[in-house]
Amino acid sequence: MNARGSQTPSILAEKNHDAPSAFTPESLLREARRQKGADAVAVPKICLLDPDGDIVRQLRSENRAQRHEGWVCYHTDMWVFDLNGYEIGVVGCAVGASFAVLVAEEMFASGCELLISVTSSGQITPQGAPPYFILIDRALRDEGTSYHYLPPADWSPASEHLLSRLDGVFDGGPRVLTGATWTTDAPFRETEAAIAAARERGILAVEMEAAGLYAFAQARSRAVICLAHVTNQMGTIDGDFEKGEANGTADALTMVLRIVDRIS
């Protein structure tokens, strides 16, 4: 029972999904700018979440990215780089649904119009040897953040409108599948029973952000696309977790560019 004696778990109780939040990203950013003496500077209209941080590290090692001095999020740095003529703002190492959505809220409050997330993931249903990508069309809600944005349901779906615009966009590039993932808050509780259950649902991979990001996107009417970079078989083989050239950055940015070319 929760504190009021209800059988409803606290994660599902008293969410009032249509009610506005008393604490907003705009107010947080206002006070952060005041404390840091920073001006209000918009972020690029296209932003990227890089939970692994490999893209940020590679761009910085190549001197291709500059720090966005107007990004005042307390928890992260934003780096800005050029991708074939597009200005992209990228934040690295925002791992997990709660952290990713916190950053996403602040990105959109700062001028972002399209957010792409590229996260590494573990293979659930074998589809050949990693690495390869999945365009996530829905994510199983086995995390906590999504339940604060949407009523209970099994899945967080991607925008059908955005998915339709990406039809065929990855042809001829790195291998990309379209399908479902399992978003978990507890990667070291991926038991054999849970993995088998995920396979029965047709889930292709497990990751940590997509369900929360898609729930946020639906609730806030924001444009978000999530890619899973399947890089491993969860450590069950020797030589696992290899992402490819430049820690997968070259292929990941190819995916991002194709999405941006089609949607922006």
d(CA 99, CA 92): 11
As to burial, measured by CB atoms within 10 angstroms (0-12 exposed, 13-18 middle, 19+ buried), residue 146 is: buried
pLDDT bracket for residue 18 (50, 70, 90): very high
Residue 227: strand pairing partners: 118, 135
The residue ranges of DSSP E strands in the chain, in sequence order, are: 46-50, 65-67, 78-83, 86-92, 114-123, 132-142, 155-157, 176-184, 205-207, 224-232
Query: Does residue 2 or residue 130 have the better pLDDT?
Result: 130
Contact 83, 127 (CB under 8 A): no
Domain boundaries, the chain: 25-263
**Using one digit for the tens of pLDDT, what is the confidence trace for 22-74?**
999 999 999 999 999 999 999 999 999 999 999 999 999 999 999 999 999 98
Percent of the chain with pLDDT over 70: 93
The Cα-based distances of 24 to 102, 131, 219 in angstroms read: 10, 38, 14
Residue 17 to residue 211: CA distance in whole angstroms:
16
CA dihedral of 41, 97, 168, 254, whole degrees rounded to 10: 60
Is pLDDT at 233 greater than 90 in this prediction? no
Which value, to the nearest 10 degrees, does the dihedral of the CA atoms of residues 13, 17, 23, 28 take? Answer: 120
C-alpha 213/C-alpha 119 separation (Å) is 12
96 C-beta neighbours (distance < 10 Å), count = 22
- Segment 79-99, tens digit of pLDDT: 999 999 999 999 999 999 999
How far apart are the two ends of the chain, measured CA to CA in Å? 48
Tell me if 54 sits within 8 A of 60, measured CB to CB.
Answer: no
State the Rg of the chain over Cα.
18
* For residues 162-172, average pLDDT: 96
Question: What pLDDT, on the 0 to 100 scale, is given for residue 246?
Answer: 65
What does the pLDDT read at residue 237? 52
Classify domain 25-263 by CATH architecture.
3-Layer(aba) Sandwich (3.40)
Residue 193 burial class via C-beta count within 10 angstroms: exposed 0-12, middle 13-18, buried 19 and up: exposed
For residue 126, the SS3 value is coil
CA–CA distance, 16 with 13 (Å, rounded to integer): 9
pTM metric for this prediction? 0.94
Mean pLDDT of the chain: 93
